[in-house]
Amino acid sequence: MSRIPSFMKSLALLTAFCAASIASAAIEVSDWGKTSDGKEVKLYTMTNDNGMVVKVSNFGAVINAIIVPDKDGNMADVALGFDEVSGYEADSCPYFGALVGRYGNRIADGKFTIDGKTYQVTKNENGITCLHGGKIGFNRKIWNVETKENDDAMILKCTLKSPNGEEGFPGNLDVIVHYILPKKLNSLVVLYGAKTDKATPINLTQHCYFNLKGAGADTITDHVLTINADKFTPVNETLIPTGDLRDVEGTPFDFRKPTAIGERIGQTDYDQIKLGNGYDHNWVLNKTENVVGKNSEKFLETPDATLYEPTTGRVMDVYTTEPGIQFYAGNFLDGTLIGKGGKAYQFRSGMCLETQHFPNSPNTPNFPSTILKPGEEYRTGTVFRFGVKED
């Protein structure tokens, strides 16, 4: 399967670093309650030299918090979520901070065919589509987590075994995800890997909801977004891509130049805005040569997307090996979910930038393949880099 080999070679150093045997040190591990069926849940806290904090749970490999400074040095948690694991376990949780799999995004009718055999997987979205891996996806599993650290970074190595037939997907799948927090840079690196003993679709992603003003702030519509993409994949009424690639030129989907999210999100006379109740679409990234440096002073070049919040000055650059990115503008948040600190998450108070292969790729031959076969190795990488922009 195509995974942009040149960039993946450049990730080899980080991957080797993750695989090395390094003693656990300053990463804080705390008890975080139990699941409804009595499984113990842990919360892992990584803090770098700049004060950036990333909290991850072994439940769902969920990112519970990302705490970064604004232009005045004030710290805030920019990731939506819950104070307790029960919030993430509830059916009402819209994948806050989740590690999504086996297949991020949608598969039409929950069906696909591999080598002449048709598979039926769980249709967990309105009984129509398979969304984010099915009813019990990777976001609801207890992951095995190991902690590692050296002079340059802190690492959480998260592993999971998904048995053949789980949610209807073929093959025994071994998954490994590394969350890496460099000590000198305010960046969160996410490296994904997997192997299978039977051909199967795979499309792992991180489903963090961001609000750069802070989790629980009113809206993300004033955030300024840039996406390095000339095309996107239009959808039908069930939010399944039609298979076409549509030019962003002259549409509300043109984010090639920095544009406030709220500037055109209300243009319901445009068919895709109406169908998605706003933005909930996959952009086809204009891929360039991304480079991981040999030291922590230079990660990647040419962001695939940039998010900027003017009042705080916070900036988040997104770099990925993936060919697409799903921009979801929190269209279905409605104030009923009570998040961290007792704050209600209102309409469009959070947004996602999910790096991915395209939705419904197993049923769309002209999309890049998401089929992983025995003997192959699934490897992708994404970096979320945080900074500030002065007035």
Indicate which residues carry an active-site annotation. Answer: 207, 354
The Cα–Cα gap between 93 and 129 comes to 18
**Opening angle at CA 171, ends 166 and 176, nearest 5:** 85
**Opening angle at CA 152, ends 51 and 9, nearest 5:** 120
Look up tokens 């003993």; give the residue: 197
Cα–Cα distances in angstroms (integers) from residue 320 to residues 3, 180, 301, 341, in the given order: 11, 15, 10, 32
The Cα–Cα gap between 351 and 280 comes to 10
Output the six-digit token pair for 372.
């992983």
The amino acid at residue 292 is: V
Is residue 84 helix, strand or coil? coil
Pairing of strands 246-247, 200-201: unpaired
66 membership: H or E segment, kind and range: strand 63-69
The amino acid at residue 134 is: G
Residues 6+ away with beta carbon under 8 Å from 59: 32, 35, 41, 85, 88, 89, 140, 141, 142, 143
Burial label for 264, CB within 10 Å (0-12, 13-18, 19+), is middle
Closest listed residue to residue 109, CA positions, set 136, 81, 130: 130
